[in-house]
Amino acid sequence: MTDAVERIAGRLTRVEDLLAALRRDHADLVSAAEGDNGDDEHDPEGATLAWEREHTAALIARSEAEREALRSALGRARDGSYGRCERCGSAIPTERLEVRPSATTCVACA
């Protein structure tokens, strides 16, 4: 299980680094929009900035969900339940866990 803990912890670190970068980018986009007239529809730059803000916010939400799933996987790896399908109880293939360390189901139950 040590390999699993290391793999999950490494992925978690990368996701947390990504989250920090995305939050900085989002803050920069919000700052760029401050002081403008708020008319994204008629401002040539406004529509792009609005899209970038929304896109970055969606990436943040997705990364936060992945972070929570990885934290849960790390807990399972530490308590010994990692790698077992939550639905049928069979082993989750190592290949699946290598690609998606937060997987909670085997391929058949996914």
* Chain mean pLDDT for the chain: 90
Distance CA 8, CA 16 (A): 12
pTM above 0.85, yes or no: no
Distance CA 83, CA 24 (A): 35
- Average pLDDT (77-85) is 95
- Beta carbons within 8 Å of 44's beta carbon, 6+ residues apart: none
